[in-house]
Chains A and B, each alone.
Chain A
């Protein structure tokens, strides 16, 4: 349904451009050639540490920002070249849920106004009472009491607000929902509740999710397939089960070993060094500076995603050569 090819986003660093010398200056390479495909009805999770570009990827796909290179396709339509009015039909099909429930609702609008506005704009054929009925149905489906309509966002808790945000996204009946860390700002006790709301919505409306998170336990619970990102690139893309049982990329292995376990002897696999800055990306494989398996080829040649098992793709020279 969603397919992303060679997607890249550079944020130029202000004050480093020397236009009189034809020098474009420095830039942060937030997303650096990402290939990704989400199938209809699945939950595709994107995981990675802070600053790896996963939120930028979400904002690119939601068309909040324009890509520097690459293509985004939704079904058969190329959407990264659309602008302004041309995006209007797309806005109904692709919706987004945000991280911070305290900032994602307009504080001066009641719940009713917040939910009614998109319905009235996107489905202008509905009468006032039909629109009202529609949003009440959406509110009930995400566990928001329709009697909350007259109240303002500050009267609700984080979990309640996040459910209102979800209702707003679902009110236009989208096909693809991009969720940018929707539960990481919530209490642990509320996280499961909101996650269940998202899963129920997926089952009842056959939604496709692009789910951005840094929480691997959520992925295990929620994701059908998982893409692991490091420094603006995807290093491993696999079905969730296959990733958790047999991750092969050295970075994914380190990431998985960092999940705390209660039982058994467990020694997390330590990585040395820091994440390089995305301003001066390393040559070759972006992970070579910290990888225990790196050799000369890793320092020079950029690895591409290759399928090792059906559905399980890895971008690593070491795995490809069988050095792992």
Chain B
């Protein structure tokens, strides 16, 4: 069997097509993007399989022993090897808490961005294609939304919700509330990006052709314009995921995010923060590092994607 035949055997058609596409080609040459993608996939897998991977269940109070509190990571003297990354003030295994926290952070980040994209794309597409009064009203609404910072909106909404419905209901619905708040506060980014590329596509003659052929508005908007207006959306999505994760972490750090018994990365950092000055640095530094690495790799991938999909470089093909 020749080498060529052998290499085809484990390279199915979709893999060859991916390698010859601009994205696959560029990824094959960009070491940094490869590393970032590998780290991100690793973290995503760790988050998805957290219940399998984690040595303890941090949501189960019975597995927590207060006698184990404030144990340092395994590589420090007088550590318990049972707890690889040490324990927190309640005696929770930090590794398990981080794996579950990563899961919560990623879930909130991705779902919030999906919500942003859903609202933003619909609004941007309608504003850009329909134009006129619809455009003015929708885009002024976006301006108004943008004039409030995400954090301000989130803090007010979450604080009001907590006072109105009590801490118990709040902690039950925390994930949903965070997704809604972060999703709704940031949709104008999408709306503006989509509107700009819709305006550019709308000028092109294939849209005139679609109108002369009598296609309906919805068909033209969703089947003809949208697929051609999506590549900037992919690019901002990565940045938005990173932003949403940071927003969630900030809110949790301020005590308005995930409750302490179901921690996200932000609430882990927050609850460990009080112990930094007593020498228990690991409780806040390790989840902090995980957060920094997560946001960094997402941003690196976003930069790479922006370079590859840059419409100015990509136009010719």
- Interface residue ranges, A against B (CB under 8 Å): 59, 62-64, 87-88, 90-92, 94-96, 98-100, 103-109, 117-118, 121-122, 154, 165, 168, 172
Which stretch (B134-142, B212-220, B258-266) binds chain A? B212-220
A19 CA to B212 CA in the complex, in Å? 33
A62 CA to B317 CA in the complex, in Å? 31
A92 CA to B215 CA in the complex, in Å? 11
A63, A99, A106 — most chain B CB neighbours (10 Å) = A106
A100 CA to B204 CA in the complex, in Å? 9
A172 touches B205 (CB 8 A): no
A149 CA to B210 CA in the complex, in Å? 19
Q: Which A residues are CB-close (under 8 A) to B206?
A: 103-107
Q: Which B residues are CB-close (under 8 A) to A107?
A: 206, 228
Residue of A nearest to B206 (CB): A106
B214 touches A96 (CB 8 A): no
A117 CA to B206 CA in the complex, in Å? 13
Q: Which B residues are CB-close (under 8 A) to A88?
A: 214
A108 touches B317 (CB 8 A): no
Q: Which B residues are CB-close (under 8 A) to A100?
A: 205
B215 touches A168 (CB 8 A): no
A87 touches B214 (CB 8 A): yes
Decide yes or no whether B208 CB sits under 8 A from chain A: yes
Q: Which A residues are CB-close (under 8 A) to B204?
A: 103-104
Given contacts A103-B204, A103-B206, contact A108 B212 (CB under 8 A): no
Partner of A122, one of B208, B209, B214, B317: B214
B213 touches A154 (CB 8 A): no
What are 21 A-B residue pairs whose CB atoms fall within 8 Å in the complex?
A62-B212, A63-B212, A64-B212, A88-B214, A91-B212, A92-B214, A94-B212, A96-B208, A98-B208, A99-B205, A100-B205, A103-B205, A104-B204, A104-B206, A104-B208, A106-B228, A107-B228, A108-B227, A118-B213, A165-B209, A168-B209
A121 touches B214 (CB 8 A): yes
Q: Which A residues are CB-close (under 8 A) to B209?
A: 96, 98, 104-105, 165, 168
B180-221: which have CB < 8 Å to A? 204-206, 208-215
Residue of B nearest to A154 (CB): B317
Q: Which 5 A-B pairs have the closest CB atoms?
A: A91-B214, A104-B205, A98-B205, A108-B227, A103-B204
A124 CA to B203 CA in the complex, in Å? 29
Q: Which A residues are CB-close (under 8 A) to B227?
A: 108
Decide yes or no whether B162 CB sits under 8 A from chain A: no
Residue of B nearest to A153 (CB): B206
Q: Which A residues are CB-close (under 8 A) to B210?
A: 106
A87 CA to B227 CA in the complex, in Å? 26
Q: Which A residues are CB-close (under 8 A) to B212?
A: 62-64, 91, 94-96
Chain B binding surface, main DSSP class: helix
Q: Mark B110-153, 1 if CB is under 8 A from A, else 0.
A: 00000000000000000000000000000000000000000000
B208 touches A64 (CB 8 A): yes
A90 CA to B212 CA in the complex, in Å? 9
Q: Which B residues are CB-close (under 8 A) to A64?
A: 208, 211-212
Using A90-B214, A118-B213 as known contacts, list a sample of 4 further A-B pairs with CB atoms less than 8 Å apart, ordered by residue number in A. A106-B224, A107-B228, A117-B215, A172-B213
B205, B209, B215, B224 — most chain A CB neighbours (10 Å) = B209
B311 to chain A, nearest CB (A): 12
Q: Which B residues are CB-close (under 8 A) to A154?
A: 317
A122 CA to B209 CA in the complex, in Å? 14
B122 to chain A, nearest CB (A): 19
A31 CA to B192 CA in the complex, in Å? 35
A106 CA to B221 CA in the complex, in Å? 12
A99 CA to B227 CA in the complex, in Å? 23
Residue of A nearest to B203 (CB): A103
B67-123: which have CB < 8 Å to A? none
A172 CA to B208 CA in the complex, in Å? 16
Q: Which A residues are CB-close (under 8 A) to B211?
A: 64
A98 CA to B204 CA in the complex, in Å? 10
Q: Which B residues are CB-close (under 8 A) to A105?
A: 206, 209
Q: Which B residues are CB-close (under 8 A) to A99?
A: 205
A117 CA to B213 CA in the complex, in Å? 9
A64 CA to B205 CA in the complex, in Å? 11
Q: Which B residues are CB-close (under 8 A) to A168?
A: 209, 213
Residue of B nearest to A171 (CB): B213
Q: Which B residues are CB-close (under 8 A) to A62?
A: 212
B306 to chain A, nearest CB (A): 20
A109 CA to B224 CA in the complex, in Å? 9
B125 to chain A, nearest CB (A): 15
A87 CA to B209 CA in the complex, in Å? 15
A126 to chain B, nearest CB (A): 16
A173 to chain B, nearest CB (A): 13
A199 CA to B58 CA in the complex, in Å? 78
A51 to chain B, nearest CB (A): 18
Q: Which B residues are CB-close (under 8 A) to A108?
A: 227-228
A90, A104, A172 — most chain B CB neighbours (10 Å) = A104
A323 CA to B208 CA in the complex, in Å? 45
A36 CA to B22 CA in the complex, in Å? 50
Q: Which B residues are CB-close (under 8 A) to A118?
A: 213
A108 CA to B228 CA in the complex, in Å? 7
Residue of A nearest to B224 (CB): A106
Q: Which B residues are CB-close (under 8 A) to A104?
A: 204-206, 208-209
